[in-house]
A and B are shown apart, each in its own frame.
Chain A
């Protein structure tokens, strides 16, 4: 056995090249019918891609599968050719006897294959591979035409539910020729609830209405089909509502609703609105007094006035600083908080002050990007503490400010976008000259470093080893010399009024904050294959934001001033099924900090935070905390982000048992319910009447008065219990545990 193996190896090593020449020569007039010779890149690899051979779960993963390794999705054809033709003791591709090639025998299941049977011997895929092998398995042609673009027909369409639409895909090559690759392309829908697509490019809509996109991939190119499936029109759809003096936002939404046959919900009531806006802007609950005054206010523009008032409150800055501190990874976790807290506190305060003074967003970002110096003199240098590797730079910049997830391009061409490794490392090169001095390395990363720009520093392309020029994503090369910090070039490019990403990302982020969902969703995943639900609306918001000089408060006023923001969350039959078009307010659970602070506010007992040097001052709220390294199980289970990612998705609203246990039997809530100085003690010790107390409890928690029935049940309960304080505690708890309290709606 052993000697045979040796023989075979020797055979392949020494004899095969000779044989190959013979076979190749033979092949030219061989038995195989003389047909077209499949092109390695444009014919062969697409078969492997289509059949999943080079997918990330199979031979395309970085370690290959059972010794056979292909590049992910065929992005590196030259390597794949070697893997198929030269490696594997040349058994994978046997040009002299194509039918004996392992490539074919495995894929057809003729010999056992971990991946099962991928295609049949009578399939088109088999014929392509076989012909290519028979033709001598030629490698990728260096002089061959490049794939220039894909043309998807139709590019967009309006479909009815339960219908079909065949897509057609034509590849345009750089030599001007075209070829139909409909059967070779790979298809993927982003919304299988609305429409499915099969491997031949046949789109089938389901019974639901809505928007969907089908990503089409062939070679390194991607294309997209955008489908619209109108809802079945119900009585009283969009058209029946008044259309006079609509804001631009509402006009664009309205068009969409009409197109899709969606009916907007009724306007939210005043009580609903003040709770909603106060939570969304300030992260706090309105007090009973604020609610009462607002309800009594009869001025027609009282909602706009409320927004203005809220934007001037310090809580607005604190609440949004919390959001940005997570995006900017102002992270405190490490061995020693004492050394880190100084930095996180400085950065957190800098963010808060920037928001409070309404610093134009372009300046805010530029000051972070180009920061140098010490944390004391220039707090945004703290950003460089958590963001310190090429990966961190690229991914943070792309995701936080450009709304693009480019992570895939670190190791290979992005499978769903145009980004290549050159884009990735070009952006990384912008930060190649970041220097760090001093720093105290007692934590997971050094603290208190001084950030400066070095004279030298480079980033190399991991495959070609070429030194990368600092370059914008799909944009220009930045000046890079002793006198030019390429980061300035990046900041200038990013904040230019014609930048395709910057303003849109922020407009989309804030839209998502207030409307519960981005126009592009998820908010930081902009790509052609994930189109905005309402492109005109996003364009309009971005342009308006640019025109305002990147005025964030203006953007918030524009969004919250729309009728759409003021719609009820209660669905109507005409919008019940829609989740993408903002025809009602989408409720969401209060974030961890807002929820905890809300409970403290209602019960009038602040949380006692520990952790780090000393104690936080009495009355500190969760949203005041400078970093996430303040241990509190409540905050963690309700989704406080660890600040390790620039993705807002790190803040989770996913329900979990641990959350429910925190509500049901946490010692902290019980402490707040029983505190001698708290609200419950006040109620229990007062000689006021139950009815008044219950009214106030409802105003505090829900910003509304109890309904008659609720009032009756509550009072009856209080009267029936002998322990007055415990009765109030139970009643109060039951209000705090409701969906109505825990959600903004």
Chain B
């Protein structure tokens, strides 16, 4: 059912990608067994070649660009907002005064200040930004296209086979547009399901349920091996063997060390945990770093609700400092570990907010021109792409559409832009569509 078109290429772990994806098609009678074999064969090499990963800060609800990354200090007060800009390590790039940690690393990060799409409602906009395509028209309509995280999961397997490739922290956003849709359920995100800042942070899905002891898990594992004797060759579709592999993986995740270790944020030095900030933003970013270090490909942090229609100030006071700590520290930490060129950082939401402050001292939805942040992963830092008009509002120059942003991410990760997947009706859909990578950043 799933078939992919496009140039054969090497991605992430050195398997020829097209071959890899084609043999995943049960239609051909080959099935997932071969997929796992292919993955297993390629894995020794992959550890060496590394490959890239992506960490996303998803500002669900829509962050105000005017108060953060695209300040208008000279605009009239009703546009300007309450913050002043500060200068950064990138000459000419100023950011909000609540972003002192950003300011230290702006030479490593870039801003795209002219992102534009044509919807002003949360859900369809979230779909647009998550998938690159306009899709549903109302909240809770089913997703029509796969999220970029799922595209990455589908095209770049995790470097550690037991580890989930695509993770959402603490869980996927509420609209349900961070999933795989027609790419297949195997590429849905793994939801952490708990706040990494919680005192006794544990991943519910990795912890045995209440009352189940690890001894019993070991027993079950042993017994399963004894009784699971159905001949494997009766099923040529690959479903049976695929499930076997996942069962071993799941048992390993629950009772084994490797995955548990990747999620064990408590083993980080207290000092580093402090640097990231003892809040959901900071600890999520730290967890994300641990996961990509262990081999995950895309970690999306869904934290905070930025829909500040009323009284934007207290809302931003609550969210800006922790977001700043998380991003700023992450960049420094990755840099110190020599990982910054392998890990992309992306901060965006479904849209920005109106340049004009409304009658309730808030800002409303604004998709005509807003800012996203991109950096690391080999992308150029210290650049500003595009510009908004004098008071915000429209794009002054260099309009960038959501697919352009995704194409940039895919290109940086080594995923060919002509990769197509078949939707449920068999139509080939391009992952990048009309999107063009932002050349200024490559």
Contacts and interface: CB of A to CB of B under 8 A. Distances in A.
A176 to B, nearest CB: 36
A642 B142 contact: yes
Contact of A647 (B138, B184, B212, B424): B424
* Residue of A710, A734, A743 with most chain B CB atoms under a 10 A cut-off: A734
Contacts of A739: 228, 230, 232, 235, 240, 243-244
Contacts of A61: 430, 433-434
A645 B181 CA distance: 12
Contact of A525 (B190, B224, B426, B434): B426
A521 to B, nearest CB: 8
Contacts of A710: 226-227
Interface stretch (B27-35, B49-57, B67-75): B27-35
Contacts of B426: 405, 407-408, 525
A664 B254 CA distance: 8
B210 A655 contact: no
A57 B246 contact: no
Nearest to A399: B425
B270 interface: no
Contact of B190 (A645, A657, A745): A657
Contacts of A738: 224, 227-230
The residue among B140, B185, B206, B233 with the most chain A CB atoms within 10 A of its own CB is B185
A588 interface: yes
Nearest to B430: A57
Contacts of B40: none
Nearest to B142: A644
A721 B211 CA distance: 17
A658 B188 contact: yes
B249 interface: yes
A444 B424 contact: no
B194 to A, nearest CB: 14
Contacts of A653: 237, 239
A639 B185 contact: yes
A395 interface: yes
Contacts of A665: 205-209, 212, 217, 250, 254
Nearest to B426: A405
A20 interface: no
B316 to A, nearest CB: 29
Interface string A641-657: 01011010110111111
A726 B216 contact: yes
B106 to A, nearest CB: 33
A63 B209 contact: no
Interface string A514-528: 000000001001000
B209 A670 contact: yes
Interface string A701-718: 000000000100110010
Given A660-B246, A730-B219, A745-B234, A637 B185 contact: yes
A603 B229 CA distance: 22
A734 B205 contact: no
B243 A335 contact: no
B424 A654 contact: no
A670 B211 contact: yes
Interface string B411-442: 00000001010001111101001100000000
Contact of B425 (A335, A405, A742): A405
B224 A57 contact: no
B37 to A, nearest CB: 15
A395 B427 CA distance: 13
Q: Give the residue among B32, B234, B235, B424 with the most A Cβ atoms within 10 A.
A: B234
Interface residues of A, number: 73
A405 B251 CA distance: 41
B28 A192 contact: yes
Contacts of A737: 220, 224, 228, 247
A525 B1 CA distance: 12
A333 B251 contact: no
Nearest to A731: B223
A734 B427 contact: no
B9 interface: no
Given A57-B430, A334-B140, A660 B5 contact: no
Nearest to A568: B234
Nearest to A701: B227
B115 to A, nearest CB: 19
Contacts of A652: 184-185
B425 A395 contact: yes
A713 B28 contact: no
B164 interface: yes
Given A61-B430, A193-B29, A734 B223 contact: yes
A674 interface: yes
B87 interface: no
A509 B33 CA distance: 27
B230 A659 contact: no
Interface string A565-596: 00001110000100100001011110000000
A734 B234 contact: no
B240 A587 contact: yes
A155 interface: no
A657 B250 contact: yes
Contacts of B217: 664-665
Interface in B237-272: 237-240, 242-247, 249-251, 253-254
A335 B205 CA distance: 28
Given A63-B434, A733-B220, A745-B230, A654 B186 contact: yes
A64 B208 CA distance: 53
B29 A660 contact: no
Nearest to A674: B211
Nearest to B208: A665
B332 interface: no
A231 to B, nearest CB: 14
Contact of A654 (B138, B219, B239): B239
Contacts of A644: 142
A738 B242 CA distance: 13
Contacts of A589: 239-240, 243
A57 B254 CA distance: 43
Contacts of A444: 136, 138-141
Contacts of B251: 660, 664
Contacts of A333: 140, 142
Contacts of B1: 522, 649
A219 B170 CA distance: 53
B247 A730 contact: no
A685 B58 CA distance: 52
B250 A740 contact: no
A198 to B, nearest CB: 17
B236 interface: yes
B227 A735 contact: yes
A661 interface: yes
A657 B164 contact: yes
18 contacts: A61-B430, A61-B433, A405-B425, A408-B427, A444-B141, A642-B142, A645-B424, A650-B424, A654-B239, A655-B246, A656-B188, A657-B190, A659-B243, A664-B217, A670-B210, A730-B216, A737-B247, A739-B232
Given A653-B239, A740-B229, 18 more contacts: A57-B428, A61-B434, A63-B433, A444-B136, A569-B234, A588-B239, A589-B240, A655-B186, A656-B184, A657-B186, A660-B250, A660-B251, A663-B247, A664-B254, A667-B209, A734-B223, A734-B227, A738-B229
Interface of A: 56-57, 61, 63, 191-193, 333-335, 395, 405, 407-408, 444, 522, 525, 569-571, 576, 579, 584, 586-589, 637, 639, 642, 644-645, 647, 649-650, 652-661, 663-667, 670-671, 674, 710, 713-714, 717, 721, 726-727, 729-731, 733-735, 737-740, 742-743, 745
Interface of B: 1, 5-6, 26, 28-30, 32, 136, 138-142, 164, 184-186, 188, 190, 205-212, 216-217, 219-220, 223-224, 226-240, 242-247, 249-251, 253-254, 418, 420, 424-428, 430, 433-434
9 pairs of A and B residues whose beta carbons are closest in the complex: A655-B242, A734-B223, A660-B250, A660-B246, A670-B209, A407-B425, A664-B250, A740-B230, A739-B230
